[in-house]
Amino acid sequence: MTELKGRGADSAASQRAAALPGPTSDEGARREGRAAKAARRRAARKLQRLEEQESIIPVELYGLRRGTVTLVTALAFVFAIFTLVPIAWIVINSTKTQANIFETFGFWFARPFSGSTARVRRGSSSGSPCR
């Protein structure tokens, strides 16, 4: 509500400023308008953050036993690991060669990276081709 009122007043002020005669004052008003706009945007963002914080009841009010927050955070962390492990695996193994997917440790990178193997295989004339 206050924010809306502020915006209305500001725009009225800028209109008044634009109506003033003279090129220099017009330039100044435009610059001032830009600064004011940025300030207003910053203020709005701050207000929004404050409102968001206000809408959440502070955790202390629930009268929780000590360690509950830590325990729950730990549980969320465990589930986050469960969620991320397959994605980490596919990111790591997308860099491996076909053979290394099965022969090397699944959760770390292994040389040669599949991009470079392709180059080596194409470059070497000696030795039998892999496939």
Partner 1 sequence: MVPFLVGFLLFMIVPLGYAIYTSLYTTRIIGGTVFTGVSNYTQTLQSSQFWSGVVRVIIYACIQIPVMLVIAFFFACVFDLGVAKFGRTFRTIFFIPFAVPAVVGAVMWSFLLEPQFGPMVHLANAFGFSGTNFFSPSLILPSIIVIVIWEWTGYNMVILYTALKSVPRDVVEAAILDDTPLWRIIVRIKLPLVRPAIVMLIFLNTIGALQLFTEPLILSYFETGSVSVNYTPTLYIFNTAIAADQTNLAAAGAVILGLVIVVISTASLLFRRRRGEFS
Q: Could you tell me where the DSSP H helices lie in 56-67?
A: none
Output the CA torsion sign for 17, 21, 24, 27: positive
Q: How far apart are CA 23 and CA 32, in angstroms?
A: 14
- With contacts defined by CB under 8 A, name the span among 11-19, 22-30, 38-46, 77-85 that binds partner 1: 77-85
Q: Does 67 bind partner 1 (CB under 8 A)?
A: no
Cβ atoms of residues 92 and 107 within 8 Å: yes
Site for partner 1 in 17-46 (CB under 8 A): none
Q: Report the residue from 63, 115, 123, 127 that binds partner 1 according to the rule CB under 8 A.
A: 63
Query: Please, which residues have CB within 8 angstroms of residue 130's CB and are 6 or more apart in sequence?
Result: 121
Applying CB under 8 A, among 35, 43, 47, 76 the residue interacting with partner 1 is 76
4 binds partner 1 (CB under 8 A): no
Q: If binding is defined by CB under 8 A, does position 108 make contact with partner 1?
A: no
Among 9, 43, 64, 118, binds partner 1 (CB under 8 A): 64
d(CA 113, CA 97): 7
Asked whether position 109 contacts partner 1 by CB under 8 A, the answer is no
Element spanning 20, H or E: none
What token pair was written down for 10?
Answer: 């500001």
The binding site for partner 1 (CB under 8 A) comprises 55-59, 61-64, 68-69, 72-73, 75-77, 79-80, 82-87, 89-90, 93, 101-102, 105-107
